[in-house]
Amino acid sequence: MEVEDRAELCFPQFPNTSCRKPLFPWPETLLINIVFYSISLITVALNLLIIISISHFRQLHTPTNILLLSLAVSDLLVGLLLMPVEVLRKTSCWFLGDFVCATHSFISGIIISASIGDMVLISVDRYVAICDPLHYTTKVTRRRVQFCVCLCWLYSVSYSFLYLKDLLTQPQRYNSCYGECAFVIDNISVTFDLVLSFIVPVTVIIALYLRVFVVAVSQARAMRSHITAVTLQLSVTPTTKKSELKAARNLGVLVVVFLMCFCPYYCFFIAGDNLLSASASFVIYLFYCNSCLNPMIYAFLYPWFRKAVKLIVTLQILQPGSSETNML
């Protein structure tokens, strides 16, 4: 009987302090691993295509695409680092040590914060493009967008460090036994994180896109009704290009999908429920799967992405002067 009990432990040599192995039937464990490692691989491949596309083709070096590039980098890191480790953490004992566990939590915090920041920047970009189109090119330049993206990632690193500094200095403090990778937060930290990482950015995103939606609808009606320029000046904003309205719609889909995947994760996280439960695993995987959905949205909504993928897959980007290809 004692031998059987030891066989169920992650570290049988430490019977008093070792965690028990997760009680998943092997067919279920195999299915989970196949599904989520496949999603991880697809996520990495698709986001790598986005990064190569925007980085290589000069015509795609627009302020909006720079924001999409930053989002693709964070999505790539989700598929490369967070998804595989999360599957490992849920389906088997943790054999990678306390330091790797703490580092994983730290990197996870950076990536999630950067993704949220990118979505806020995308919302601001569309707000200026739709609501103040005459000054968009002067207000939103590539250099300013690059600076904002760098600031976003710097903030994410700083915020995660301050939020997880106790975990980094004492990696084993939240583990109740050997073979576990756990992270517990106190009520003060939960409240602080709730405001900065959930309430404020989500409120900003929703408020800006509601404003964009109202203005876009009014301008679409104006264009359909052939209202004169004088009448248009009495409305909220001047006439916006059709391409800007289409871009706002496309990026709006991106933001809505992000919020649908993000809100359940964060609501569960701040509720303080058991993060090792099956429902917790579901909302975490749902949030991570958003990184795979984003490039699929590009594939459906952006012709330039489909064209770029064709050029990349056929290795035409290796030809001299391919970076000057007309993509739009």
Q: Categorize the per-residue pLDDT at 302 as very low, low, confident or very high, splitting at 50, 70 and 90.
A: confident
In SS3 terms, 31-97 reads as: HHHHHHHHHHHHHHHHHHHHHHHHHHCHHHCCHHHHHHHHHHHHHHHHHHHHHHHHHHHHHCCCCCH
- Single out the residue of 138, 161, 140 nearest to residue 149, CA to CA: 140
List, for residues 244-263, the tens digit of each pLDDT value.
667 677 777 888 888 888 88
Least confident of 3-12, 15-24, 36-45, 163-172: 3-12
266 vs 284: CA distance, rounded Å = 9
Most confidently modeled of 246-255, 263-272, 297-306?
A: 297-306
Which structure tokens are listed for 78?
């989700």
The stretches of 133-241 forming alpha helices (DSSP H) are 136-139, 142-169, 187-194, 200-225, 229-233
The domains found in the chain, sorted by start residue, are 26-324 (1.20.1070.10)
How does residue 177 score in pLDDT terms, banded at 50, 70 and 90?
A: confident
Cα separation of 175 and 246, whole Å? Answer: 49
Q: Name the average pLDDT for the chain.
A: 82
Q: How far apart are CA 43 and CA 190, in angstroms?
A: 30
Averaged pLDDT for residues 275-279: 56
Q: Could you report the per-residue pLDDT of 83-121, keeping only the tens digit for each? A: 998 888 888 888 888 888 888 888 998 998 999 999 999
Mean pLDDT across 263-283: 66
Distances (CA, A) of 284 to 265, 279, 287: 6, 9, 5
Q: 208: which DSSP letter?
A: H
pTM of structure = 0.85
pLDDT value of residue 245: 66
Q: How confident is the model at residue 130 (pLDDT cuts 50, 70, 90)?
A: confident
Q: Residue 9: what are its φ and ψ, rounded to 5°?
A: -90, 150
Burial of 166 (0-12, 13-18, 19+ CB in 10 A): middle
Q: Which tokens hold the place of 37?
A: 């490692």
Determine the pLDDT at residue 1: 38
The predicted model gives 309-323 an average pLDDT of 91
Report the C-alpha gap between 76 and 74 in whole angstroms.
5
Identify the pLDDT of residue 269: 62
Amino acid residing at 21 = K
* Segment among 20-29, 152-161, 162-171, 230-239 with least mean pLDDT: 230-239
Contact 287, 74 (CB under 8 A): no
17: confidence class by pLDDT, cuts 50, 70, 90: confident
Higher pLDDT, 170 or 278: 170
Helix (H, G, I), strand (E, B) or coil at 9: strand
- What confidence category does residue 242 fall into, taking pLDDT thresholds of 50, 70 and 90? low
pLDDT at 232 over 60: no
